[in-house]
Amino acid sequence: MLSKEDKDADTLPEITECYGECGVNLEKIVRRIIKYVPPDTLRGLREIRISGRDPDNMAFGCYYKKDRKIELFAEDIIGWQPWLLKKTYIFPYLSTGLALGHEIDHHVKRNDGRSDKEKSAENNALKYVYPSFGPFKPVAKLLFLLLRRFFNARKTI
Ligand SMILES: [Zn+2]
């Protein structure tokens, strides 16, 4: 018999949204990223929820192991960006990718008790987002790494 997790294997996680207008279509960005992640990466992940703001104002996203769910905080990722940056598309895209890639790594490593989860997530975030960059891979990768450095001060849990 198939376990619940096996049954979930071939279905992409449901994307749910619960946030106000932030000037960027985050759902579209999330959909593009998960379309290109390496196979098996999202196995067992049930939901990616895009909500408003982290209640503790600490993080860009959160992974809930028990619920197999990722939550992204739109206001923390995008809300503060000046409209000119939002218009670039690539900047919001990379910011979202930074947060989503981080949480995807938490999902992938959810049963790995030994490693330093935060370090792993920081180092691997790019790996999950990179395939979706398409023809912009070299420049997007460079910007991604710069952005990661810039955001490092803020904790993503
Ligand atoms: Zn984390």
Instruction: Dump pLDDT digits (tens) for 125-153.
Output: 999 999 999 998 999 999 999 988 877 76
Ligand 1 centroid–CA 1 distance in Å is 34
Three-state DSSP class for residue 47: strand
Q: How big is the CA angle at 19 (ends 39 and 4), to the nearest 5 degrees?
A: 35
Ligand 1 centroid–CA 96 distance in Å is 14
- Local confidence band at 70 (pLDDT 50, 70, 90 cut-offs): very high
Q: Which residue has the higher pLDDT, 39 or 82?
A: 82
Residue 157 lies in a domain: no
Tell me how long the chain is: 157
Query: Structural domain tally of the chain?
Result: 1
Query: Which pLDDT does position 55 carry in this prediction?
Result: 84
Residue 22 has pLDDT above 60, yes or no: yes
Residue 156 lies in a domain: no
- Local confidence band at 19 (pLDDT 50, 70, 90 cut-offs): confident
Mean pLDDT over 58-70 rounds to 94
How far is it, in rounded angstroms, from Cα 104 to Cα 102?
A: 5
CATH code, domain with 140: 3.40.390
Ligand 1 centroid–CA 101 distance in Å is 10
Residue 31 has pLDDT above 60, yes or no: yes
Ligand 1 centroid–CA 99 distance in Å is 9
Looking only at the bridges linking them, the beta strands covering 47-51 and 14-18 are parallel
How far is it, in rounded angstroms, from Cα 11 to Cα 13?
A: 6
Give percent of the chain with pLDDT exceeding 90.
Answer: 68
Ligand 1 centroid–CA 95 distance in Å is 15
List the domain range (segments joined by +) for residue 22.
Answer: 4-151
How far is it, in rounded angstroms, from Cα 39 to Cα 24?
A: 27
pTM of the predicted model, to two decimals? 0.88
How far is it, in rounded angstroms, from Cα 73 to Cα 56?
A: 11
What does the pLDDT look like over 98-116, one tens digit per residue? 999 999 999 999 999 877 9
Residue 33 lies in a domain: yes
Ion ligand 1: residues, CB within 5 A, are 118, 121, 156-157
Residue 75 lies in a domain: yes
